Homo-oligomer: A and B are copies of this chain.
Amino acid sequence: MKLQLQITMNEALFIRNPEQSDLGKNIIQHSIELIHKNGFEAFTFKKLAEDIGTTEAGIYRYFENKHKVLVYLTSWYWGWVEFQIGYHTNNVTDPIVKLKKIIKLLATTVKDDVLTGYVNENLLHQIVITEGSKAYLTKQVNEDNKLQFFKPYKDLCALIGNIILECNIKYRYPKSLASTIIEMAHYQNFFMNNLPSLTDFGKSKDESKIVSFLEDLVFRSIKKG
């Protein structure tokens, strides 16, 4: 028997569902590899097609443009992160322990997940660090938001916000603190590796220090009294 993790994707993100064909899966897999290798700006459907061994027109049958591919990939990632959180905090009742686990999951390099065949989660994690915010830092953010493109991100943020409230019902900024944790887990990682003087972890390049920083930030903020 084969276990397969399925992340439900917003239908408006694609023209044809990439999960339902070999070509579609190839598009996802090779998109991740190409964006990771050359960055989102240099990523084109022509290069992607050459990489896969198909034609540009073939890609356009699945995705309208490369922006939709990026939103698809980041959505998938946040859905997957939420699954990981559910999986790893399944039997945990203490919200403080939960929150620690979440911070660790967000800020630590991802182990490749055998349950998801054609997605390399480790590469995807790195893409989301560098390219993720470009999915919403656009002029079309309001249209995209109306189409629910950012629902997985918002769901995750709401989930974390609720756990923060479980820790301290009186804390006044649960959602902003949640989005701060999510963004900073990635930004401090990017800074550590690329602009190290913006962090306190530059020399060691040790992800566990990002975890320590975020834990310090969060638990001092929500401490009662």
Q: Interface of A with B (CB < 8 Å)?
A: 38-39, 41-42, 130-131, 133-134, 136-139, 141-142, 145, 150, 153-154, 157-158, 172-180, 183-184, 187-188, 190-191, 194-195, 197-201, 210, 213, 216-217, 220-221, 223
Q: A157-B198, A191-B179, A195-B154 are in contact. Are A138 and B39 (CB under 8 A)?
A: yes
Tell me the dominant secondary structure on chain A's binding face.
Answer: helix
Q: Are B198 and A137 in contact (CB under 8 A)?
A: no
Best-surrounded residue of A131, A136, A174 (most CB of chain B within 10 A): A136
Contacts of A194 in B (CB 8 A): 136, 141-142, 145
Q: Once bound together, how far apart are the Cα atoms of A93 and B96, in whole Å?
A: 38
Q: Are B174 and A200 in contact (CB under 8 A)?
A: yes
Identify the closest chain B residue to A199 (Cβ): B176
Q: Are A139 and B175 in contact (CB under 8 A)?
A: no
Q: How far is the CB of A69 from chain B (nearest CB, A)?
A: 15
Report, nearest first, the 3 A-B pairs whose CB atoms are least far apart.
A39-B139, A179-B198, A173-B213
Q: A220-B221, A221-B221 are in contact. Are A134 and B136 (CB under 8 A)?
A: no
Q: How far is the CB of A80 from chain B (nearest CB, A)?
A: 19
Q: Are A216 and B221 in contact (CB under 8 A)?
A: yes
Q: Are A136 and B184 in contact (CB under 8 A)?
A: no
Q: How far is the CB of A12 from chain B (nearest CB, A)?
A: 17
Q: A139-B38, A217-B180, A220-B223 are in contact. Are A175 and B198 (CB under 8 A)?
A: yes
Q: Are A184 and B174 in contact (CB under 8 A)?
A: no
Extra A-B contacts (8), CB below 8 Å, given A39-B138, A176-B210, A179-B188: A141-B195, A172-B200, A173-B213, A176-B198, A176-B213, A179-B198, A180-B187, A220-B220
